[in-house]
Every structure is written in structure tokens, then in C-alpha cells.
Amino acid sequence: MKIRYSESTNELEITSSKDNLLYLSKKLLEDGAQIKATVEENSKAVPYDRFLYGIDIKVLQGKLVDFQVNQNDTLLIKGDCNKLSMLSEVLLSLTEDWNIAEDPTYKHIHIEHYSAHYLSPNSISVVVMYA
């Protein structure tokens, strides 16, 4: 899984395999879960500014889901367990009818507060895709 972030546009992209998406969707409900990301040391994160090193999960009762970047260049996903469960279902939907023979660059989803009622309006916009 690769996570790229652009501070100027306040957007990030998670590029993942099917197995990593399944793993992430399961871990979203575990308070304190940590997931490592792949960082290509000699590679540019273009068109984003930089790579992030992983994901931290924080379950907070009664809160909308919020994607934020920590000072240690990790993605923090926090929110109520029920709301995180909704996000998990969205991620799982990307893994349905998986056919790697199809061009994977077109299977993606945008997760933004104005289209996802479980997401905080302060959250970073996220694109999740598989490759």
C-alpha cells in the first residue's frame, strides 16, 4: 500500500492491492491499529508532495470519520466505530468482482465530506484506488 499526500491541495491517495484493502477495512475497527505503508525512497510522489509512512486508527465515540496527517508523516483515521464501519464497507466495495485482468487504474473511489455523510467536513479528501 502506498499513501501519497499533497499539502497544497489537502488531498491524499491510497493505492493498494486487494489484500491490503481487505486488511485495512478489517483494521479500521481496531482502536490503536497501525498499518505500515510502502515508501519508495528514490521515487517522487508526483503529482503529490510526499509519501506517508503508514496509517494509525483511533476510535472516538460519537465522532465523524476524519482523515488527518500526523507530524510523523502518517495518516490518522479517527471516528466512531459505526462511522468507521461505513468507511470499511466502502473500501470493501472496491474489492468486489475483483478482476486483475481489467485495467486497475480505473477502479477507484473519492471519499469527500460533501458526498460521504459519515465524514467530517474538516477531513482531508481521499482517493482510494487499486493497482
Structure confidence by residue, pLDDT tens digits, 5-49:
999 999 999 999 889 999 999 999 999 999 999 987 777 888 899
Give the whole-angstrom CA distance, residue 64 versus residue 46: 30
The DSSP letter of residue 65 is B
Other C-beta atoms closer than 10 Å to the C-beta of 76 total: 15
Which of these, 53, 42, 104, lies nearest to 75 by C-alpha position? 53
Cell of 63: 465522532
Residue pLDDT, tens place only, 67-88 = 999 989 999 999 999 999 999 9
3-state secondary structure of 100: coil
Q: pTM higher than 0.85, yes or no?
A: yes
Tell which residue, 1, 73, 75, has the closest CA to residue 33: 75
- pLDDT of 98 strictly over 70: no
* Alpha-carbon gap, residue 78 to 61, rounded angstroms: 10
